[in-house]
Amino acid sequence: MEIELWWLLVLPAFFGLGWIAARIDIKHLLKESRALPRSYFKGLNFLLNEQPDQAIEAFIEAARVDPETIELHFALGNLFRRRGETDRAIRVHQNLIERDGLSAKQRLHALSELGQDYLKAGLLDRAEEIFVKLRGTDRDDEALKNLLEIYQQEKEWAKAIAICDAMPNHSDHLWQKEIAEFRCEMAANEMLHDRHDEAQRLLDEALAANRKCVRATLLLGDLAAKVGAGETAIDYWKRIEQQNPVYLALAAEKLLAAHIQLGRKEQGIQLLRGWLERHPSLDLLDAVFRAELDNDGAEAAYALVRDELRRNPTLLGLDKLLEAQILVVPPEKRADLELIKNLIHNHTRRVARYRCDACGFKARQFYWRCPGCGGWETYPPKRTEEFDITL
């Protein structure tokens, strides 16, 4: 292949142009770096050396020297909010909003950040006002997300449902579960004030939104029991086994009480024993143990726990077994057993907590909404030890 003569002329020209462009870029970069305040570089140095307090002070000085550093102001506001210094974050973002020459996009950004500052500070009315203003703008998704959180904190469930209806139908998250839970919250309030018809309507709507909503079925049973319809209440609570058997323990004592009221105590206990056999659960075991102890005495309760422990060995089950054994042994042997039980009980406190499936938050109390991440129905009535066994 022959090389054209004109190539020999063009190639040096290309190299020359590249060298000139590189020199121009370097000069431009040096010019920009000289224009930045010295405190800006001090702040970067403090950050690299993991000295956040000194870095923040340096960046504040940089922002004071050069007010045009818009992005630096946003960064400072975020830093203050994350550190819990919401007053300082609010001042930074308010100053940005009041600044002349800010583009429409930057102003919307500053408004959104200010709304998050108010939300973090617990100033929900002010946060709501800002996010309502952001509806229909480029920040609409952020506004919807934050308004939903505000209405949940304020227990404005009707408004929360309206926000869910306005949410984009993302393929990875539909909002039926949340809508059903919001209707359950409203129904529980109606039941508290003896407005039974309205509660029934809301619970029916909850199940229409999410037929797997255990809480709606549980509350329907509570509502039926409240008006004296024991058979109907039992039918509702029995449906939980098809919806999600993990939640059966929440209905166990209520179901037994309804059977006792109808004069069918033995039938109620047998139903609970069947649930325990098909769906082992430490909370369900506790409910059945109490029922056996009350109905058939300590020997029957001890036999129940012993058999269950053989099927599903757990420390919490062992703790229950020792409790049952103390009731049946002679008095002179109880002291040693009580000592062992106390040692086991102190150890089982760590594994006797509920845990969120989403964020891992642990607590001794059951919640329909996780206090850690705010997820609904992510916090099943299942002890930490049971999670570890199934892994």
pLDDT in tens, 81-118: 888 888 888 887 887 788 777 788 888 998 999 999 99
Choice among 55-64, 132-141, 349-358 with the minimum mean pLDDT: 55-64
Would you tell me how many other CB atoms lie within 10 Å of the CB of residue 9? 9
Q: How far apart are the first and last CA of the chain?
A: 68
What confidence score (pLDDT) does residue 12 get?
53
pLDDT greater than 70 at residue 275: yes
pLDDT greater than 80 at residue 65: no
What confidence score (pLDDT) does residue 252 get?
94
Average pLDDT over residues 193-202: 96
Beta-strand runs (E) in the chain? 354-355, 362-363
pTM for the predicted model, two decimal places: 0.76
Would you tell me how many other CB atoms lie within 10 Å of the CB of residue 290? 15
Q: Count the alpha carbons within 13 Å of 303 in the hemisphere toward its beta carbon.
A: 7
Average pLDDT over residues 141-157: 94
From the annotation, which residues make up the binding site? 356, 359, 370, 373
What confidence score (pLDDT) does residue 390 get?
46
| Cα 88 from Cα 153, distance rounded (Å) | 24
Average pLDDT over residues 322-333: 76
What confidence score (pLDDT) does residue 50 get?
52
Reading the block at residue 261, the tokens are 């009221």
pLDDT greater than 50 at residue 359: yes
* 383 strand-pairing partners: 354
| Cα 316 from Cα 322, distance rounded (Å) | 10
Cα 132 to Cα 91, 148, 180: the distances in Å are 21, 11, 24
| Cα 143 from Cα 148, distance rounded (Å) | 8
**Burial (CB count within 10 angstroms: exposed 0-12, middle 13-18, buried 19+), residue 29:** exposed
Average pLDDT over residues 193-216: 96
Task: Give, as one character, the DSSP assignment of residue 383.
Answer: B
Choice among 26-30, 46-50, 206-210, 312-316 with the minimum mean pLDDT: 26-30
pLDDT confidence bin for 264, thresholds 50/70/90: very high
What confidence score (pLDDT) does residue 156 get?
96
pLDDT greater than 80 at residue 362: yes
pLDDT greater than 60 at residue 10: no
| Mean pLDDT (the chain, rounded) | 80
What confidence score (pLDDT) does residue 391 get?
42
pLDDT greater than 50 at residue 176: yes
From the annotation, which residues make up the binding site for Fe cation? 356, 359, 370, 373
What confidence score (pLDDT) does residue 115 get?
94
pLDDT greater than 50 at residue 201: yes
Please give the backbone phi and psi of residue 3, each rounded to the nearest 5 degrees, phi first.
-90, 125
Higher pLDDT, 92 or 57: 92
Report the b/e string of 339-372 with b at 16+ CB within 10 A.
eebeebbeebeebbebbbeeeebeeeeebebbeb
Geometric angle at alpha carbon 74, from 71 and 79, rounded to 5°:
125
Amino acid letter at 41? F
Alpha helices (runs of H) in 281-330, residue ranges in sequence order = 282-296, 298-311, 315-328
Tell how far CA 320 is from the center of its chain.
Answer: 31
pLDDT in tens, 19-43: 444 444 434 433 444 444 554 445 4
Amino acid letter at 297? G
Cα 269 to Cα 99, 291, 296, 324: the distances in Å are 71, 7, 11, 18
Cα 218 to Cα 233, 241, 335: the distances in Å are 9, 11, 42
pLDDT confidence bin for 4, thresholds 50/70/90: low
154 contacts 124 by C-beta, under 8 angstroms: yes
Amino acid letter at 247? Y
| Cα 183 from Cα 210, distance rounded (Å) | 11
134 contacts 142 by C-beta, under 8 angstroms: yes
What confidence score (pLDDT) does residue 386 get?
59
